[in-house]
Amino acid sequence: MIVHEREPEVSPFRLIVSTELTNEPALACPICGDSWIHPVSVFVAMNHTSVFAEGDDATVIRSTKGSPRRGSRITLNFVGECLHQFSYSLTFHKGITFLELIDAAEIAPGKFPSCLWRD
């Protein structure tokens, strides 16, 4: 995963839920609020196992070494039709799940990545 410098106006705790398209709450772009976003990839890190899902494929990596961090981490990567990409990290430790916006950046026109389970 490429981590970009955070947009200066975007809080690391910003999560936008929109009902613009339907009456159901839907995740929206944390930079501009646009509702048209697509999941790009998911990364799950547990003690001895990591899973990376991208496109219509997944890679599982098992290790005998424990994780250098405690708890578990899930990273969700998205791209918006607004040409913004962003990632959220959910970390779980001792009964608490933390949510953080860890990446937010613009993408170049024509560089729209493949989406999860859809090429």
In a domain, 7, yes or no: no
In a domain, 28, yes or no: no
Which pLDDT does position 43 carry in this prediction?
Answer: 94
- One-character DSSP codes across 19-74: -SSSSS-EEE-TTT--S-EEEEEEEEE-SSEEEEEETTEEEEEE-SSPPSSSSEEE
Domain containing residue 56: 38-106
Which pLDDT does position 1 carry in this prediction?
Answer: 38
0.85 surpassed by pTM: no
In a domain, 17, yes or no: no
Mean pLDDT of 53-78: 82
In a domain, 8, yes or no: no
Structural domain tally of the chain?
Answer: 1
